[in-house]
Structure 1
């Protein structure tokens, strides 16, 4: 089974080492990789020869990407392969979706919630996926997805300052800063963006804790490792959370 996560920037994929989802083994892959979204055609070569008969895809990049990915899959595996386009629904894999319109919830957010709940069952969770956008979602110990918030990602925040102000620099690389009160403009921008991201996550944890007791924050996405030292709450960083959620859902 090939699992594919098409995000705003990257396409990530993996073939789980275990056919049946087991939380203790989640995130172990027989084959895995990632490519920039614009390189979708190159996936055919990356997938050539893999023994795949079933595919599950989370795609938040629109219809054109869906068609391009479908062409790449058929070129790699032939028309025989079964392609399942993962979509949010009212209930799946132990998670109940309380969005006002369940189908409107981004399928990546639903998959991440499923993955986090499968990894940490019976725990109240804040699931923060920190990529091009940062999404911060609340899941109860019983598997109720309550909803969440969406804000610009760490890199987008820094870039927007450079684009919309006259004299602030473009930040090429976001790395850790030693102090919240930086003594140069570049580090001041980074410190401010990190504080905004970490503050939103901590605020969500505090609000969730009021009604649901102790809360674990599950961080995912490319900026997760950068933000983790700055979040003043119990945290776990999980790679490929969407793929893990797809694996749990497929089972």
Structure 2
């Protein structure tokens, strides 16, 4: 089996593949203070609950946007799975030409998503990842990573509103039936959800316009935790692929094994 691990700022998403089939996937909270032993024991417990044996894992690949865990998770892999993992970064073959001013600045998760999306859907295309930050990535017809956009995620904005105002409450992030709300909670929810839908569609619209010389963009993919919430109202998003990052890790592993 192949263990794939994507370390985000809010959650760690991981899963196990047998050949090209994703057998299980899990999501746990990212804790920068956890030790490699704590993560190892947690992984062992999750494996045991699902009747899996760590010894059945033959390879491990990790992507991370959390620098403090760049040593912790590989150390966990070595100690608890007896495997020196592939860590997505400089020197790892992705098969993608990154046309950023400094390719090292592009987050590993963005590259992993781009690899998977181009492999599955072809190009040109746009990927919107609704994580702690919302990232927009543009991929050319030839499979080049052209660049993108980064904005604060919807949860960050919700928390900032609560922390920086005296009377506004913390609310559940969900879509109210109408934009014009009749109470404070629905008003905040309306501003967050419909506000982000408007922002997302405007950015996508501008990206499509700037990419027109590379061909018509017909595929706009949403992934990440809040993808379903926003994509359901978007004019441009036409695919939701929650497992895009894990699939990208599997593809990159195949290119480096």
Report the TM-score range of the alignment, normalised by the length of the smaller protein.
0.7 to 0.9
Alignment of 1:86 onto 2:88 = yes
Q: Displacement of 1:138 after TM fit?
A: 1.2
Matches within 5 A, 1:194-205: 194-205=193-204
Structure 2's unaligned 5+ residue stretches are none
2:246 is matched with 243
CA RMSD of aligned residues (A): 2.1
Unaligned runs of 5+ in 1: 20-27
Alpha carbons 1:129, 1:224 under 8 Å: kept: yes
1:72 aligns with 2:76: yes
Task: Provide the rounded CA distance (Å) in 1 between the counterparts of 2:106 and 2:64.
Answer: 12
Q: 2:235: which partner in 1?
A: 232
Mean alpha-carbon deviation: is it higher for 99-108 or for 198-207? 198-207
Contact 1:53/1:82, CA 8 A, preserved across alignment:
no
The residue aligned with 2:27 is 34
Q: Distance in 2 between matches of 1:141 and 1:181?
A: 41
The structure-2 alpha-carbon separation of the partners of 1:234 and 1:221, relative to structure 1 and needing over 3 Å to count, comes to closer
- Specify the alignment match of 1:23 in structure 2: none
Distance of 2:81 and 2:192 partners within structure 1: 43
TM-score where L is the length of structure 1: 0.86
Local SS of the residue matching 1:92: coil
User: What are the equivalent positions in structure 2 for 1:1-251 lying under 5 Å apart?
Assistant: 1-19=2-20, 28-38=21-31, 40-41=39-40, 42-47=42-47, 49-50=53-54, 51-62=56-67, 64-78=68-82, 81-87=83-89, 92-93=94-95, 95-121=96-122, 123-171=123-171, 173-210=172-209, 211=212, 212-251=215-254
Q: In 2, are the aligned partners of 1:52 and 1:77 still within 8 Å (CA)?
A: yes
Measure the CA separation in 1 of the matches of 2:194 and 2:10.
23
| Equivalent residues of 2:74, 2:84 under 8 A apart | no
Change (3 A) 1:99 1:154: same
8 Å contact kept, 1:43–1:72 = no
